[in-house]
């Protein structure tokens, strides 16, 4: 069961505000018990989602494992738009791996990740010392203090990979990749400050 405070948090997360939440709670609490039971909550959410189907029909299960829990019968599936939206949020599988078995896909993805991490490590080892020398020389030639070079210019250089990764994730424009992009930028900022 859900009390009124928990219900307010849930509905706030679903975008409802103010007096509308109180009236929704009163509508959902059909037995006036002061709490919303599971069945009442599902019916309310069903209405809130704007489904065209009728109210969910409730049946009783006879299974001992189910404990005589009400089971909702699914509505007829006449809306394929939700499926298309869900598919667009999923991460894309590289085209050359689509026809492989899931185990083989995972193995190849891990090998690619290992190859890319190894290549990146080698590139860091090769270019980090010359990059530090270049930044130091720029500081001397431009008359910039070593403090400024090390705390302002060097972090930009060291965060270039995070900036590129965040940009490439952001180009995909899905909620999960935008979250990854922002988390990458936040992590980069925290590491240098």
Each residue's pLDDT tens digit, 59-86:
444 444 444 444 445 444 444 554 454 4
pTM, whole model, 2 decimals? 0.35
Q: Is the pLDDT of residue 181 over 50?
A: yes
CA angle 126, 132, 133 (to 5 degrees): 95
Each residue's pLDDT tens digit, 142-161:
888 877 787 777 777 777 77
Q: What is the mean pLDDT of residues 9-21?
A: 76
Q: What is the mean pLDDT of residues 115-120?
A: 93
Q: Is the pLDDT of residue 133 over 60?
A: yes
In whole angstroms, give the CA distance from residue 94 to residue 98: 7
Q: Is the pLDDT of residue 176 over 70?
A: yes
pLDDT value of residue 99: 85
Q: Is the pLDDT of residue 97 over 90?
A: no
Each residue's pLDDT tens digit, 20-69:
778 888 888 888 888 888 888 888 777 766 644 444 455 444 444 444 44
Contact 2, 36 (CB under 8 A): yes
Q: In terms of DSSP H, where are the helices of the chain? A: 4-13, 19-28, 38-48, 81-89, 102-142, 146-148, 154-158, 160-171, 175-192
Q: What is the mean pLDDT of residues 96-118?
A: 89
């Amino acid at each position: 069961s859900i009390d009124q405070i928990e219900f307010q948090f849930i509905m706030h997360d679903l975008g409802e505000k103010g007096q509308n939440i109180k009236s929704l709670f009163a509508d959902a609490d059909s037995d006036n018990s002061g709490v919303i039971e599971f069945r009442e909550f599902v019916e309310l959410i069903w209405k809130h989602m704007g489904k065209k189907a009728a109210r969910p029909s409730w049946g009783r299960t006879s299974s001992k494992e189910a404990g005589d829990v009400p089971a909702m019968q699914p509505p007829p599936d006449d809306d394929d738009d939700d499926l298309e939206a869900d598919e667009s949020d999923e991460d894309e599988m590289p085209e050359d791996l689509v026809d492989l078995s899931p185990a083989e896909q995972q193995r190849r993805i891990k090998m690619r990740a290992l190859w890319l991490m190894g290549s990146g490590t080698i590139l860091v080892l090769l270019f980090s010392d010359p990059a530090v020398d270049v930044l130091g020389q720029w500081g001397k030639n431009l008359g910039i203090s070593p403090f400024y070079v090390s705390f302002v210019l060097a972090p930009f250089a060291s965060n270039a990979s995070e900036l590129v990764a965040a940009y490439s994730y952001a180009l995909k424009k899905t909620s999960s990749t935008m979250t990854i992009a922002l988390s990458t930028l936040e992590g980069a900022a925290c590491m240098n400050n």
